[in-house]
Amino acid sequence: MIVRELRWNDFEPLTEMYFHLYEERAAGESIGISLFAERPSTVDEVEWFANLYRKCLERQWFTSIAEEDGRAIGNCTIQPQTVRADSELGHIGVLGILVDHRFRGKGAGRALMIHALEQARGRFEIIRLSVFADNLRAKELYRRLGFETYGRLPRAIHRGDRYIDEEFMFLDLGKWAAPPGAPNR
């Protein structure tokens, strides 16, 4: 596996990964990402990807891609909390991550986050994220990378007939150092 920056030809595998989440949810699997009620159209995804790609080219957002056998298997994006960088909140980045279901638990998430955090240095001072409170594997990864919990919103996600709490975590990027043994790219 290698970790690299986003490329234009990552659209198809990233969209397939995202669309598969709808199948996982329908099968009752515990996925740690909130989804729309209905799966977006391919046209919606083209618009999303074009915006992501443009923002990465402009160095406003940072997207790391995990690649296996020439195909994207995960992505981690850090984007500004606000639309304008000159806002009083412009120093805060928001992290989101998705790993293909076939590669979860194999180190891709860790490698993606380390790469994205390294790329975001100098642009953001604080990185925040939210995580489903019952997503223990993800929370442990975030803690190992230095994230700290700063809050919890009960019943934040309404999935089917149940509610899931959401936890909020942050990382002071100025004090962060990549953990020993961080993968080379």
Counting residues of the chain whose pLDDT is more than 90, the rounded percentage is 82
Distance, in Å, from the CA atom of 137 to the CA atom of 83, rounded to the nearest integer, reads 31
Is the pLDDT at 89 greater than 80, yes or no? yes
C-beta separation of 72 from 111 below 8 A: no
The pLDDT, as a whole number, for residue 82 is 83
Please provide the distance, in angstroms rounded to a whole number, between the alpha carbons at the two ends of the chain.
9
Q: Are 125 and 85 a contacting pair, CB within 8 Å? A: no
Q: Report the C-alpha gap between 139 and 149 in whole angstroms.
A: 9
Mark residue 183 as left, alpha or beta (left: phi above 0; alpha: psi -120 to 50; beta: remaining).
beta
**Residue 15, strand partner residues:** none
Give the model confidence (pLDDT) of 17-59 as tens digits: 999 999 999 998 888 888 999 999 999 999 999 999 999 999 8
**pLDDT (0 to 100) of residue 120:** 94
Domains plus CATH for the chain?
2-172 (3.40.630.30)
Q: How confident is the model at residue 182 (pLDDT cuts 50, 70, 90)?
A: low
The stretch 114-132 carries a mean pLDDT of 95
Of 67-71, 80-84, 175-179, the poorest mean pLDDT is in: 80-84
What is the pLDDT at residue 144? 95
pLDDT score for 145:
96
Q: Is the pLDDT of residue 9 over 60?
A: yes
How many CB atoms lie under 10 A from the CB of residue 176? 17
Q: Identity (one letter) of the amino acid at 65?
A: I
Place of tokens 């596996």: 1
| CA gap 138, 41 in Å, rounded | 28
Q: Could you tell me which residues come within 8 angstroms of residue 93 by beta carbon, excluding any fewer than 6 positions away? A: 62, 78, 79, 80, 81, 120, 123, 124, 126, 127, 128, 173
Res 119 pLDDT > 80: yes
Tell me the pLDDT of the chain averaged across its residues.
Answer: 93
More confident residue, 180 or 42: 42
Q: Are strands 126-132 and 92-99 parallel, antiparallel or unpaired?
A: parallel
Is pLDDT above 90 for 83? no
The confidence score (pLDDT) of residue 185 equals 43
pLDDT of 183 higher than 70: no
